[in-house]
A and B are shown apart, each in its own frame.
Chain A
Amino acid sequence: QKEVEQNSGPLSVPEGAIASLNCTYSDRGSQSFFWYRQYSGKSPELIMFIYSNGDKEDGRFTAQLNKASQYVSLLIRDSQPSDSATYLCAVYYGGSQGNLIFGKGTKLSVKP
């Protein structure tokens, strides 16, 4: 059973701080990794994807991947109240099925 694990939170950080969201996955053969942001009552929005070990930066967001440890994280610098949402980690294991396996998400709250 392929699994993606996230701490459900809530994770509370003050405005301007760095928020660190973590995710572990069960299958070493996993190929690509995604972070989605989901506001309450809305659908998931793709904010980052990473395929290779190391860091990938996009604006205030940095995704970090460590395949040896089966660990992927998302850092949000200079957190804003508008970043308050649930963050979903998703993993593509490859193969013909194509679907992503999602974690249950971490709820982030950024306090002004």
Chain B
Amino acid sequence: GAGVSQSPSNKVTEKGKDVELRCDPISGHTALYWYRQSLGQGLEFLIYFQGNSAPDKSGLPSDRFSAERTGGSVSTLTIQRTQQEDSAVYLCASSLFTSGGNEQYFGPGTRLTVT
């Protein structure tokens, strides 16, 4: 079946502009996650959705970051007034999120470059 898809695959933007990143999870997966990975760094958790709800937004790095999920499916991560330190690969993952485990499957990522 189809995996997690993300768009765009690459985004170059000028400092101060807003950007929207999109994630389409695996069909039937109720849980959706956003992570980011800076060059040579580990994965940093940003936000988690169960259905359309995000119980805890404390992972978002600043109030310039926001995310929403509609219809229990597609999610959008928005970064307002982008800064150079926002440059990273933004990864989306989805899972069934059962009580026994939480296998997460990643999309190909969006590489964001802020100039």
Contact = CB atoms under 8 A, between A and B. Distances in A.
Contacts of B101: 31-32, 49, 51, 92
A43 B107 contact: yes
A46 B42 contact: no
Interface in A84-112: 88, 90, 92, 96-105
Nearest to B104: A100
Contacts of A46: 103-106
A21 B105 CA distance: 21
A21 B11 CA distance: 34
Interface in B26-60: 31, 33, 35, 41-43, 45, 48, 50, 55-56, 59
Nearest to B4: A43
Given A97-B55, A98-B48, A99-B48, 6 more contacts: A46-B106, A49-B103, A98-B97, A101-B45, A102-B42, A103-B42
Nearest to B58: A97
A92 B56 contact: no
A42 B31 CA distance: 22
User: Which interface residue of A88, A92, A103 has the most chain B CB atoms within 10 A?
Assistant: A92
A44 interface: yes
Interface residues of A, number: 24
A45 B102 CA distance: 14
Contacts of B43: 44, 88, 100, 102
A103 B56 CA distance: 22
Interface string A34-55: 1010000011111001010000
B33 A99 contact: yes
A32 B41 CA distance: 23
B91 A34 contact: no
Contacts of B103: 34, 46, 49
B45 A99 contact: yes
Interface string A12-47: 000000000000000000011010100000111110
Interface string B81-93: 0000000010100
B1 interface: no
Contacts of A36: 106
Contact of A92 (B59, B102, B109): B102
